[in-house]
Structure 1
Amino acid sequence: MEQTEVVKPETLDELIAILHKIFESDTINVEEVQNIMESYESKPHEWMKYAKFDQYRYTRNLVDEGNGKFNLMILCWGEGHGRCLCVSDSIGLHRVENVSHTECAVSLHLYSPPFDSCQTFDQRTGHKNTVKMTFWSKYGERTPYTSISQENN
């Protein structure tokens, strides 16, 4: 098996271009995508326009739709914000949170295939719920506010 060298993206735009190229194929090498994502060195001035915070809950901010094959997004976590998600695959149950009570946090996520609903798990009651996923912003612009999203309750 031939070993391919990881192309290191120098900018967020270059990362997006590389991801588009990778996802042109019907067969995706997950390890290659993971290596590309890990090789991107964060430069706040590049992604700051996508980082939209809310004082009460974490936010999902769409950066790129990946021609319908993936969603690249920036999740913004205010002080102490967290999210417990039940994923219906081998990962099972996981929780993501910003444990700091004084600093905000930002994380870059790629989901393939894109999804518009997921199951959440309430640790207090032990119940799971299917909720519609929404974006706080798309491409750096706030999405229209309709009501409090189920996912953030």
Structure 2
Amino acid sequence: LIAKLRALLGTKGLSSEDIDIEEVQRIMEEYQSDEADWAHLALHDPSRNYSRNGILNINGNANLLMLAWTPGKSSAIHDHANAHCCMKILDGELTESLYDIPEGEGQLVPKKNTVLHRDVVGYISDDIGLHKISNLGTKQAVSLHLYTPPYASMYGCSMYEAGNGKKHHVDMSKYYSWQGQLVNAKGGSTC
């Protein structure tokens, strides 16, 4: 999986328009989840909604992260800093709630909810809208995320309040772990 993503993304800087996102999705869909491959990378702090575990920076063009989701918890409603995000469910299931990007303030109402099961690949970009990811189940879920270009880790992203649509900048540069080693137990970034 990683070798194929490296080959596709190359060594040059990429803008969002340069990326063949359908090929990225196809590569991620080819991989069949095997816990023996990734369990050591899915570190989790159950006191948080989810834990962001950095796996790899691919040639400066993408970040590969593994997120471990606490049962009954969710992310905030958020954007993707004008980048592409492909998300593969490795274990459990997650619900994606899709929202339009608000033009002003006002309550945000999901326009679509999709349940993503093991080995399913989802895709989001700011052209599609905002989303919130939820683990509505009773056991931990794990997902693999490819962000390309890795703008959120460089510049942060925006989270939105559901009740009024207010936008807040979030620093997304800190990980709970990096390549299986705990690096930031108290201050890992989340939205």
If the TM-score is normalised by the length of the shorter chain, which range does it land in? Answer: 0.7 to 0.9
Q: State whether residues 160 and 167 of structure 2, in contact with CA within 8 Å, keep that contact through their aligned partners in structure 1.
A: yes
Matched, 1:124 2:163: yes
2:149 alignment counterpart: 113
Task: Structure 1: state its 5+ residue gaps.
Answer: 1-14
User: Could you say if the C-alpha distance between residues 137 and 31 of structure 1 is closer, same or farther in structure 2, counting changes exceeding 3 Å?
Assistant: same
**Shift of residue 125, structure 1, vs aligned partner:** 4.3
Letter in 2 for 1:16: I
Q: State whether residues 52 and 190 of structure 2, in contact with CA within 8 Å, keep that contact through their aligned partners in structure 1.
A: no
1:139 alignment counterpart: 179
More helix by share: 1
Q: Determine which structure has more spread, i.e. the larger CA radius of gyration.
A: 1
**Shift of residue 21, structure 1, vs aligned partner:** 0.8
Percent identity of equivalent pairs: 38
User: Could you say if the C-alpha distance between residues 40 and 150 of structure 1 is closer, same or farther in structure 2, counting changes exceeding 3 Å?
Assistant: closer
2:69 alignment counterpart: 77
Task: Structure 2: state its 5+ residue gaps.
Answer: 13-17, 83-125
RMSD, matched Cα? 1.8
Matched, 1:49 2:40: yes
**Shift of residue 42, structure 1, vs aligned partner:** 0.5
Equivalent residues in 2 for 1:98-109 (5 A)? Answer: 98-100=135-137, 102-109=138-145
2:23 alignment counterpart: 32
The alignment covers a number of residue pairs equal to 136
1:8 alignment counterpart: none
More strand by share: 2
TM-score, with length taken from structure 2: 0.65
User: Could you say if the C-alpha distance between residues 74 and 131 of structure 1 is closer, same or farther in structure 2, counting changes exceeding 3 Å?
Assistant: same
Give the whole-Å Cα distance in 1 for the aligned partners of 2:72 and 2:8: 35
TM-score, with length taken from structure 1: 0.80
**Shift of residue 151, structure 1, vs aligned partner:** 3.4
